Structure 1
Amino acid sequence: MTGAHGTKPSPGPDQPPIPVRLVTFNTHHGVGEDTKHDLARLATVLAAADADVICLQEVDRHFGDRSEGVDQALLLSRALDMQLAWGPAIDESRPDGGPDREYGNAVLSRLPILVSDVHRLPGKGEPRSVLRTMIELDGGTLWVMNTHLSTGNPERRGHQVAALAGLHTDSMGAGVLVGDFNANPDAPELAALRGRFADAWELADERDDRSGWRFWQHDEGLTHPAHSPHRRIDQVWVTPGVGVRGARVLDARGASDHLPLRVDLAVPSGV
């Protein structure tokens, strides 16, 4: 298969890069700035992003009243007609034998998901995890790691980042690490990423964060809080060789307390 925004590469050793459009978005369990849980509104925002791969954080599955007890991951995958990979950070059984209360990260993909696994991240407090998937491209593969790091404690985030850096080995080929890092890209605790990965926003040939009339920035990549963004904590990091044609902060249309980040990648063929 090809990415939805490019043509099939021609055969031969010098194939052009494979285009893949990816979005990362902290959904705030589908509760918007109006404090209402509105999964249909969230699905509309995701559909408008027109992405091949969508990485979501703060997703609920039968978690409780705040999200009406629904399986958000499954409902969103069906609404968008995309494959689903799921990576819980919280997974609690119910005494009454009902569905487990789950909360974590999800990957939705138009392209085939070949591999999916979940890794717990170190640190006390709210459990954190990373969902690692391998996506099949037409002429290559892309490893996608989707995570949500701890708030407040830089040392704890540093241990989590070190664990993340070790999950993508040289033998895996092209990859991206995305999510809500709860720290700016230049934060000291993200140092273990540099060298192994590069900040996609900085690499992008074109970038824009003017997602609505109320934003005056156009080259800062700010995503949080949605109503008046001043932090760049939602990020995409790419391995060497993965190009970034464009990066854009999108309008969340009130669906979350974060804004979505969309990147257009150019993934090397044959890796």
Structure 2
Amino acid sequence: MGRRERRHARDVLGLQEVWADGDENLAGWLAQRLGMHWTWAASDSPQKWQHRIGDPTIDFGNAVLSRWPIAERDVARLPAAGGPDDGRLALYALVDAPSHPAPFFTTHLNADLHESAVRCAQVTALARFIAERRGAGPFPPVVTGDYNAWPDSDEMRLLGGCRTAPAVPGQVLLDVWEYADPAAPWATWDAANPYVARTFEPSVRIDYIHVGPPGPDGLGHVRSVRRAGDGPVDEVGVWPSDHAAVVAELATGNW
């Protein structure tokens, strides 16, 4: 593991488009390299990604990596709602962190630009899943994902619940980027990235971390937020992904 990767190591990671082939699993490989616990959930309809890479044996899904043990996990299948059924899902992990267990979620929604209505249905299912699993502990739920949705879209306003009626009555999830330096680079789908440039699409933020309102004494409030993985990682100029990551630091009490 190089210095750059270790510099970005975090307590809990939400990953999407995780690949597995038999006993080989990208999330497991990363967890081993980083000394973390992990769990993952495979799509039950991975044909889109199998076709893309020309290998019908590959599994695809979401994963959570954690510095601390994962006490519970669950999976919700998200609806296709008239769009392509790619087996989209949401993964829940209860992170058994010191002092306060933390409910953590990660997800990946339909990708086509015109599928806002599909994503609204998926966000509604996600919000209900969060409400069922967030528990009554003091640490607010943390929700990560590749939503393939612009910040002012119907689906992101619906998930947040503070700019329109929330998908679950009374449930608000704050976009951590609201705490970012307004001058900081913000696009996670960035035309400066050669993988994105070849699509001819505009730069936009489509990857998010949301967190519920802070608990007692500000537990879980956002201290800082920034991008990571937003440049080449070697002399050859290879970028780690077509997406930049979102990194947030939350107040954790006495962890």
CA shift for structure 1 position 129: 0.4
Partner of 1:73: 27
1-structure distance, mates of 2:97, 2:226: 23
Count of residues in Structure 1 that have an aligned counterpart in Structure 2: 208
Residue in 1 that maps onto 2:66: 109
Aligned to 1:54: 13
Q: CA deviation at 1:148?
A: 0.6
Q: Which one has the bigger strand percentage?
A: 1
RMSD: 2.8
Q: Give the conservation status (yes or no) of the 8 Å contact 1:226–1:256.
A: no
Name 2:41's counterpart in structure 1: 87
Q: What is the one-letter code of the residue matched to 1:199? A: D
Tell me, yes or no, if the aligned pair for 2:89 and 2:108 is still in contact at 8 Å: yes
1:259 corresponds to which of 236, 244, 255: 244
Report percent identity of matched pairs: 33
Match of 2:167 in 1: none
Report the TM-score when normalising by structure 1.
0.69
For 1:198, the aligned partner's letter is L
8 Å CA contact retained: 1:128, 1:148: yes
Correspondence 1:192 to 2:158: yes
Higher relative contact order (CA 8 A, sep 6+): 1
Equivalent in the alignment of 2:49: none
Q: Deviation of residue 127 (structure 1)?
A: 1.5
2:209 alignment partner in structure 1:
236
Which consecutive unaligned segments of at least 5 residues does structure 2 have?
47-55, 162-171, 194-201, 215-219, 234-238
Deviation at 1:197, TM superposition (A): 0.5
Instruction: Quote the Cα distance in structure 1 between the aligned partners of 2:203 and 2:136.
Output: 35
Deviations 1:96-143 (A, max 9, x none): xxx963201111111121111111100042220011011122211211
Q: Distance in 2 between matches of 1:48 and 1:172?
A: 33
Verify the 8 A CA contact 1:129 1:147 in the aligned structure 2. yes
Rounded to whole Å, the distance in 1 between the matches of 2:18 and 2:5 is: 14
C-alpha distance 226-175 of structure 1, shift in aligned 2 (>3 A): farther
* 2-structure distance, mates of 1:100, 1:180: 24
Rounded to whole Å, the distance in 1 between the matches of 2:43 and 2:159 is: 21
* Aligned-residue offset at 1:46: 4.2
> Residue 157 of structure 1 corresponds to which residue in structure 2?
119
